[in-house]
Chain A
Amino acid sequence: MTTDHLTDDLGPVELEIARHRFESTAEEVGTALIRTSYSPNIKDRRDCSAGVYSPTGELIAQAEHIPLHLGLMPTMVRNVLAEVGTGSLEPGDVLISNNPYLGGSHLPDTCLVTPVFVDGRLVAVVANMAHHVDVGGIVPGSMATHATEIFQEGVRIPPVKLACRGELRADLMAVLMANVRTADKTRGDLMAQLAANRLGERRIGEMVAEWGPELFERSCAALVRYAERRTRAALAALPDGTASFTDHLEHDGVAPRSIPISVTVRKQGDAVEIDLTGSADQVPGAVNCSYAVTEACAGYVVKALTDPTLPSNAGLMRPVRVLTRPGSVCAAEFPAPVANGNTQTAQRIVDALLGAFAQIVPDRVPAASSGSMSIVTVGGQDPRTGRYYSYVETYGGGQGAGPHTDGDSAVHTHMTNTRNTPCEVIEREYPLRVDRYAIARGTGGAGRCRGGDGLIREITLTDGTATAVVATARVDTRPWGLHGGQDAVGARVAVTHQNSGTTELPAMSSVRLEAGTTLSVRTAGGGGFGEARPPVAGVEGSAHAQA
């Protein structure tokens, strides 16, 4: 280990300088995207990521705002480049795709890939991915839970050129815009994605001009090897061991059923194998995951449990072997619907991974968190303007307690970290009123360290009619506690019609709203850690132990 860098092409100083340059370029692309996009998904919730890649699609540096994209985009970029063929690329070309089977997560996550040429030579690739507000399909917001094939989920864009030699392809844009409900926002967001990549392209041009193409290329390779060394060192510091764990999804999107997610973790030396081949076959509803999502979960857990500062590039995954079975819920194949694979299944894969790791490194693994990204979509035609709208938001929940810290309440955990949409923005942009936005007190599991509490959001449709889709989890199961800590209280979804009273709904449901109908979502708490000490009154909102 100690003399590894001597065989490297870059010294310890050059390496660090290159890391700064690549990371700041990726960050700049991400920031530009957030600042100029139109849909609250990107600008407020930051459901997007940006990265710099080698010409073969190897990730060099990434600015990520949610961990889900950690493993996603690299697979997507690699496959998009392979499908189109780098030989057919020219300066000014921009590729687009949202195909989940190529490494996307679901259709709204649209990836724009910009090849960077210097003196006619492909030197790098800049890409960004953003969750679009609507890509068509059977429900507004394109996050149907009950789709049974991908054709119902919206428009699928194979890897094609969105721009050719600097010219936007108006015909392609016209086809896309004709198939989405919110063409104005989608158009604006795509323009923001294009412009953000252009910034990255410029920065890379400057780097190549400064360093020369040869040093630039060596730096890319060295940074990947550097990340690999660090990941291996971090893994080597963990004890070896093999452990298995099975957790379950409770709903496949179409109907309630128990779907096992089974993992075996084999940690040995400076590498780890994560085997999910024992998980369920792909299911009829939209909770199937693409392989890329599963790989992202593995990368997240490795980084979180070993060293949270590990660089996010291709080197991170080199010591991590992820085994899945094609056609399973963790590696879905065409034409399985996938819209909620990341919002539900990704979080459950993390739960299962943590359950297994808890047996190998019990002093590092927290109890289960709320277990879902709890995505809520309300869409329809606003009678006040005649326009289609889609309100999309993911709700935080209780965070699982750690070995030394209480879990936080009403917070995004694991594979997501989007920001909320302010209530005042919701009420300004959509025919919705927020009636309650509160912490679901008492839903966190008790323990030596307490699990965090879930979140309550109650919204009422004020005008017209709309379709609401709620996809959460842990309604019929509970986020588990660890080492004697209590399980958390699960989630609850209900709808209150003005005249017909309140109905409780399953974890995943689609419901028609009329003006005056109230949708109420309470997300699950987080599990507790360790046996509770004798009860202490009024621990609610207690100060968190700071590291």
Chain B
Amino acid sequence: MRPTGSEVHADRAGRVRVAVDTGGTFTDVAVRRPDGSVEVWKVSSSPRAPDDAVVGGVEEALERAGAGFGSVERFVHGTTVATNTLLTRTGARVGLVTTAGFADMLHIGHQSRPALYDLSVRRPAPLVPHELTWEVTERLAADGSVLVAPAASELDGLAERIRGAAPEVVVVSLLNAYVDPAHEQLVVEHLRRAGAAPSVLAATSVTPEMREYERTSTAVISGYVQPAIADYLERLETRLAERAMPARLWVMQSNGGLLGAGSAREHSVRTVLSGLVGGVIGAARWAAQLGLPQVVSFDIGGTSTDIALIRNGVPGEMTSGELEGYPLRMPAVDVHTIGAGGGSIAWRDAGGSLRVGPQSAGARPGPVCYGLGGAQITVTDAHALLGRLGTSLLGGRLALDLDRARERLTAFAGELGLDEDETAAGVLRVITATMARGVRKVSIERGIDPRDCVLMAFGGAGPLHATDLIRELGMKGAVVPPHPGIASAVGMLDAPIRHDFAAAATATSAAELDTVARTLDVLTADAIRFLEERERVDPALVTADRLVDARYLGQSYDLTVPWQPDFAALRKTFDNAHLERYGFDDPDAVLEIVAVRASAVVEAAGAAELPRTVAEGAPPEPVATRSVRFGARRHDCPLYRRDDVPAGVELAGPLVFEQLDSTVVVAPGQVCHHDTFGFLHIHEERP
């Protein structure tokens, strides 16, 4: 069976789209019917075999949606297998071959220690142990000229020694190979021919960029997670095929685009943030559809919060980052994670200050009010004790033990010398300050004022914090999507297929720009061909973005800007980007282009418009009233079921919306509008 482009991209009557996102605690599933309505479902994750929860969860969700595997036309998956493989150090036995004199490159790293003052903290051990590193006598100079060519006789002996150590994957990473990968390829081919290891790869084939440690680290991570990802995806594909699912399996990449399962098995490193970006991609799409130019995506989980900036519907991107202390050079959605979530624990420090987090009660024992043995007041407890959460969560499946939480709060308030409500409100004020600091970081450091942004709040607890955050930061408002607790799965439904290519290229003047243009042409053609041949999509549907990495000559950090064939125009674009990002530009400096990028994208059919899922109607009646504290006092606060709220309705705070997967609060002085797409828009009441 060979799926065609049209099968992938066209909606057909009766066919559904499925997205499934594996998280640490829950696996979330979203199924969208042809009429645009979405069925969401949540099952417990199965960390030992994540595919169990994926297949089981999808099966249940499809059943609830009145569909079966046979009617799935698009299947999108965010997976944490690569991340967890790294986290638990259960990856492949990877070997490393370097230029003679550099075998310790990974261990030496940046030479810097992770904690300035904590003498007991150590850097993570390299993913390649010392006994699996080998050196080869060869050398390129920085200008690409050959100082010493690798000798075939030495490579024979090397292959022999590698075979003896039996690594599963061997990464060949040679100095200055970013200028010319010829030596690397020669060594790789020799080792492959000699059968040195089941898999041999050149570091420059994973990322061709300068800086030997970062490049090698990225390639090693790729080799390390590759077998686990390949096994997992193969198993999942088989199980889906057994259920006669006609759609292909698409995997979310760190850059927010999809990669076919076949390609993901090969380019595994691209999936390391797979489980993290679904929500951001959804938020970006919604921002575009709702016409919101500047949005901060805000996804709160139990232990951490993921924050990202979205401009004109496009999330910020970064090309260099770190994972578990290992550098990673790979285009990725720029997500800033802070250690603040619903489970963050409140404590009093030796200076008398009320602190919240970064320690978290997690899912077990969890907040005190979960009644699972948690004994320290958490953010969730503060919400519950201030009346923001009712007496149960998840539609009654989880009863809250408020008495026990109040008992702990009394003790904690005594420690601080505050009253109970002040203490619980203080916990929220402090976590708001922590979260606001995170929002400021992602916006201000990118040259954007948070006051010009809208907060897109999701994750189970996001809509509990939105109201405080927009007030603290003076933001324009907050938007809460229809299924905030399952937003990352819903957000992936319409993710585009995407593949990024990069190559080194150098130019500092208009005269050299022709070479850059040619490199970019080749790269773009490669990218389109890749999508056509490997992902089997219709090349007519592909749009290719051409980008360059540039900097002022002498700087070491690049900015990625859209390619323009005119040097002066390119220069102007770069100056503006630099001014926006760093607060100044340097008209006297020489502009240096250091790399080119091509990003080939196929948008999902029908992804441009939001389905209208909510009919207009009269304002609903509250289902109950609850005492909720906002600011310095408690208010009698009406409580609504979110499903009861029609479109076009505007309600004034204070109020609470309850829904299966989340709770939304609106403070006094704020108003909330429900639109026809099912989004809640919260902002300060205009005078």
| Chain A residues proximal to chain B, CB less than 8 Å | 1-6, 8, 11-13, 15-17, 19-21, 23-24, 27-28, 31-32, 35-40, 43-44, 46, 64, 66-67, 184-185, 188, 191, 195, 198-199, 203, 226-227, 229-230, 233-234, 300, 303-304, 307-310, 366, 395-396, 399, 402, 404-406, 408-413, 417-420, 422-425, 427-428, 433-439, 455, 458, 462, 538, 540-541, 543-544, 546-547
Contact = CB atoms under 8 A, between A and B. Distances in A.
B152 interface: no
B372 to A, nearest CB: 26
13 contacts: A17-B429, A35-B582, A229-B350, A233-B350, A233-B351, A303-B117, A304-B118, A405-B120, A417-B116, A419-B110, A438-B102, A541-B130, A546-B122
Given A35-B557, A417-B113, A455-B111, A424 B354 contact: no
B121 interface: yes
Interface size class of B (residues with CB under 8 A): 35 or more
A546 B123 CA distance: 10
B297 interface: no
A424 B178 contact: yes
Contacts of B22: none
A13 B429 contact: yes
B113 A411 contact: yes
B681 interface: no
A543 B141 CA distance: 35
Contacts of A20: 433-434, 436-437
A312 B557 CA distance: 28
B417 A428 contact: no
Interface string B556-569: 11000000000000
B351 A226 contact: yes
B108 A24 contact: no
Contact of B108 (A366, A410, A424): A410
Given A43-B556, A418-B112, A439-B108, A411 B353 contact: no
Nearest to A315: B351
Contacts of B434: 20
Contacts of B7: none
A280 to B, nearest CB: 27
Interface stretch (B205-213, B265-273, B484-492, B648-656): B205-213
B513 interface: no
B304 interface: no
Interface in B114-135: 115-123, 125-126, 129-131
Contact of A16 (B125, B126, B212, B430): B430
A23 B430 CA distance: 14
Contacts of B660: none
B476 interface: no
Q: Which of B118, B356, B556 has the most CB of A within 10 A?
A: B556
A468 B295 CA distance: 52
A229 B350 CA distance: 7
A410 to B, nearest CB: 5
A165 B353 CA distance: 39
B105 A308 contact: no
A38 B210 contact: no
Chain A residues touching B, majority SS: mixed
A247 to B, nearest CB: 18
Contacts of B557: 35, 43
A342 to B, nearest CB: 15
Contact of B354 (A16, A64, A413): A16
Nearest to B436: A20
B395 to A, nearest CB: 33
A307 B113 CA distance: 17
A402 B120 contact: yes
Contacts of A226: 351-353
B210 A438 contact: no
A410 B111 contact: yes
Given A12-B353, A13-B354, A395 B111 contact: yes
B155 interface: no
Contact of B142 (A8, A19, A199, A428): A428
Contacts of B437: 20-21, 23-24
Given A13-B426, A547-B120, A437 B101 contact: yes
Q: Which of A3, A11, A538 has the most CB of B within 10 A?
A: A11
A4 B352 contact: yes
A420 B122 contact: no
A420 B120 CA distance: 22
Contacts of B349: 230
Given A38-B554, A44-B556, A439-B107, A433 B352 contact: no
A404 B104 contact: no
Nearest to A384: B143
Contacts of A24: 437, 440-441
A438 B125 contact: no
B430 A541 contact: no
